[in-house]
Copies of this chain bind each other. A is one copy, B any other.
Amino acid sequence: MLTSLAARVALSAAATETGHAPLADFHQWWKEQRAADDSASRVIPFADLRMWSFRPDTGDLVHDTGRFFTVEGLRVRRPGWPVPHWSQPIIHQPEVGILGILAKEFDGVLHFLMQAKTEPGNIAGPQLSPTVQATRSNYTRVHRGNPVPYVEYFRNAARHRVLADVRQSEQGSWFYRKRNRNMVVEVTEDVELLDGFRWVPLGQLHRLLAEDDLVNMDSRTVLACLPFPFAGADGGSHRPADTAVLGWITEARTRHELLAERVPLREVTGWRHEPDRITHESGAFFDVMAVAFQGRGREIAAWTQPMVRPHGTGVSAFLVRRTGDGVQVLASTRVEAGSADVLELGPTAQGTPENYAALPDDARPPLLDAILGAPAERVLFDTVMSEEGGRFFHARTRYLIVEAGPDGGPEDTADLRWIPLEELTDLARHSFYVNVDARTLMVCLQSVYGPDRAV
């Protein structure tokens, strides 16, 4: 028996299209949005940044107002890890932004208000984004731009029905303890439909996930926080994680040591500062660089900003298996330099194959090669999607869901454990348990193991 909310989410997940939102209409609308997009991004030298500069004392890359974010240094120690210490540039953005999706029933089916939005780092025009995607500097209008549409629904959420509201981390390799508030707010009142926005049922969003670079990262992380009733879940969308699972996480957070200290960017070693990039001596990992962006329909029309440009396409993959009472994923304990609390649960394997040439052999995720070599019939999901285009330039990850073989896959280890999807869904209701790549995969899992499909 599903709870009433879980049943409504299930109904929306079953709807690839509705009378209000035919699939063909979406594709037509999307074609128009792409055609209307005249935005342009251009890589520039740091010297051409406007309102951004390197501070003479620290070398940090900062905005003149002190707001938005800064690029600083991070000195990291991980005793016992193949690379026991290093330093690196990192984005520090202490403000908690809002990633919000508005929900509303049309003809009895929940639809979600999505936006066609082009970000400076996007690889090919607009991506399908949440209703609101705003830093506190944005929505309090530090940059004197236009007001952020729909943001008041989220700032005054208690007046409506809150379906999800949790601060979640983002990429811990590039962000220092970044967290955004992930919200889904359901309204019953009429909502004005602005240009560039569209109501989409969940099943249609799931269908669109299979297209490369279409559903943006912020949409994915918010949708992962929905109370989603996976196939085979008996009690609804989530059930409290088993004490053994919580104890496993506690043990791992005690065993792994992460000592990360913010330092001036000029104290980072092993990185070269060039006119148009800060780059690792090995050529691996990522660059800090700068972009000039000319957008349409944004709060302000044009700006320049620093960004992080990763080298190579990432891979994030969950190994999954079906059991008598539902689906399990093999979660890993994932320590990242910018983690708020040592580690979060991550995909079975997560990494950028190109980087491992610059790292010791034992830094390679143990199951990465086995997953990449799985036979096609066990690959349930395989799409390349983009990471957040507001901070990352052409950052793409190949998301894979791969079914374990008939032997049920590997055994649990100290850093890998099979976890039922309903428990992972409950953990994602709390901060800092499920990392951003695993949250993207949770939405992919929704599209594979939706409630309308038989296990």
Which A residues have a C-beta under 8 Å from some C-beta of B?
96, 157-158, 162-167, 181, 183, 227, 238-241, 243-244, 246-248, 250-251, 253-254, 340-341, 426, 429-431
Sample of 13 more A-B contacts, CB < 8 Å, known A157-B251, A166-B247, A341-B431: A96-B253, A158-B247, A158-B248, A158-B251, A163-B243, A165-B243, A165-B251, A166-B246, A238-B240, A241-B429, A246-B430, A250-B431, A430-B430
Cα separation A189 to B430 with both chains bound (whole Å): 36
Is A429's CB under 8 angstroms from B164's CB? no
Task: List chain B residues, Cβ under 8 A from A164.
Answer: 243, 247
Interface centre among A163, A164, A430 (most CB of B within 10 A): A430
Chain B nearest Cβ from A2, distance in angstroms: 15
Chain B nearest Cβ from A257, distance in angstroms: 10
Chain B nearest Cβ from A244, distance in angstroms: 6
Interface centre among A157, A239, A251 (most CB of B within 10 A): A251
Cα separation A227 to B244 with both chains bound (whole Å): 13
Cα separation A340 to B341 with both chains bound (whole Å): 9
Is A429's CB under 8 angstroms from B240's CB? yes
Task: List chain B residues, Cβ under 8 A from A183.
Answer: 247
Is A240's CB under 8 angstroms from B240's CB? yes
Among residues of B, the one whose C-beta sits closest to the C-beta of A96 is B254
Task: List chain B residues, Cβ under 8 A from A157.
Answer: 247, 251
Copies of this chain present:
2
Is B165's CB under 8 angstroms from A246's CB? yes
Contact check: which of B96, B165, B239, B250 meets A165 at CB < 8 Å? Answer: B250
Cα separation A244 to B426 with both chains bound (whole Å): 14
Among residues of B, the one whose C-beta sits closest to the C-beta of A425 is B240
Among residues of B, the one whose C-beta sits closest to the C-beta of A431 is B341
Chain B nearest Cβ from A433, distance in angstroms: 8
The answer to whether A250 and B167 touch (CB under 8 A), given A240-B239, A243-B227, A244-B162, is yes
Task: List chain B residues, Cβ under 8 A from A243.
Answer: 162-165, 227, 429
Among residues of B, the one whose C-beta sits closest to the C-beta of A166 is B250
Q: What are 23 A-to-B residue pairs whose CB atoms are below 8 Å?
A: A96-B253, A96-B254, A157-B247, A157-B251, A162-B243, A162-B244, A162-B247, A163-B243, A164-B243, A164-B247, A165-B250, A166-B246, A166-B247, A167-B250, A167-B253, A181-B254, A227-B243, A243-B429, A246-B429, A250-B431, A340-B341, A341-B431, A430-B430
Chain B nearest Cβ from A298, distance in angstroms: 24
Interface centre among A96, A183, A254 (most CB of B within 10 A): A254
Among residues of B, the one whose C-beta sits closest to the C-beta of A136 is B254
Cα separation A122 to B431 with both chains bound (whole Å): 37
Task: List chain B residues, Cβ under 8 A from A244.
Answer: 162
Among residues of B, the one whose C-beta sits closest to the C-beta of A94 is B259
Contact check: which of B181, B240, B241 meets A250 at CB < 8 Å? Answer: B181
Chain B nearest Cβ from A402, distance in angstroms: 27
Cα separation A430 to B181 with both chains bound (whole Å): 19
Chain B nearest Cβ from A337, distance in angstroms: 17
9 interchain residue pairs of minimum CB distance: A165-B247, A162-B247, A165-B250, A96-B254, A240-B240, A430-B430, A166-B250, A167-B250, A240-B426
